[in-house]
Amino acid sequence: MSWSEVEEYLKKDNRIIIPIGSTEQHGKFAPLGTDTFAAIALAEDTSTRTGVLIAPPLWFGWSPHHLVRPGTISIRAEVLIEVLYDIIRSLAKHGFKKFVVVNGHRIVNIPWMQIAAERAQRELKVRVVIFDPAYMSKEIADKLGFGPVGHAEEIEISHMLYKYPQLVNLSKAKDYVPKEKPLYHVDPRDPRDTLCYVPSTEEDMKALIEASGDSIVGRPTMSSAEKGKKYHEYLVSRLAEVLNMLKEG
């Protein structure tokens, strides 16, 4: 778009979607950009349906635990806070008032997005909501029989098989389900008591690599484009619902 097209848009709407993902290893079989592709796919298909504008995606997130694999690019937590705040501040200056941040890097980016969102709401008098697929698909994930959120597991790989099948080589995928840690169940669907999420240490990741032969957690071989389609369409409806709520104030 040109700046004048953005100006035209602002005469009729003040909502915008900001897709944020990560560039981090997703096993031997899926691209480093998986999380960003997920955020872009949800943003684009919801934009087509609702007409709400999308900001350019942020391809980097907080991924210190995945630096054990080449190609991963991690920005520091404080950098993520500042970048997101500056994106919102720039757009707010032009008249955008309602922001939906779509987080493709499920769970992990959230604390920093929350800090940026709170500061933006307080200082810029805007509304910011955070849309995370892991929190927004609890109902459909159960219906589709998905296992827990892991990493490069059947949920995000089904999504990729539906939207970007050319980027996935499932023949290279191997499942790995580690033994559960006591009092640590960070999938938002899990009703049990849990400690809060903290990314794995480098030593944890090395142990994972040793045990699994790759660096993933979950059952990617259970992925299917058909499940990915249902998951995607459900999330697009949810995101459209959120945008409607914002429109109505």
Contact residues for Zn ion, defined by CB under 5 A: 34-35, 156
Phi, psi dihedrals of residue 146, rounded to the nearest 5°:
-70, 145
Q: Which residue is nearest to Zn ion (CB)?
A: 35
Q: Rank residues 34 and 137 by Cβ distance to Zn ion and give the closer one.
A: 34
Q: Rank residues 85 and 176 by Cβ distance to Zn ion and give the closer one.
A: 176
CB of 158 to Zn ion, least distance (A): 12
d(CA 137, CA 63): 22
Q: Rank residues 52 and 80 by Cβ distance to Zn ion and give the closer one.
A: 80
Q: Rank residues 20 and 124 by Cβ distance to Zn ion and give the closer one.
A: 20
CB of 171 to Zn ion, least distance (A): 20
CB of 35 to Zn ion, least distance (A): 4
CB of 156 to Zn ion, least distance (A): 5
d(CA 88, CA 81): 11
CB of 220 to Zn ion, least distance (A): 11
CB of 65 to Zn ion, least distance (A): 12
Q: Rank residues 98 and 163 by Cβ distance to Zn ion and give the closer one.
A: 163
Q: Rank residues 160 and 242 by Cβ distance to Zn ion and give the closer one.
A: 160
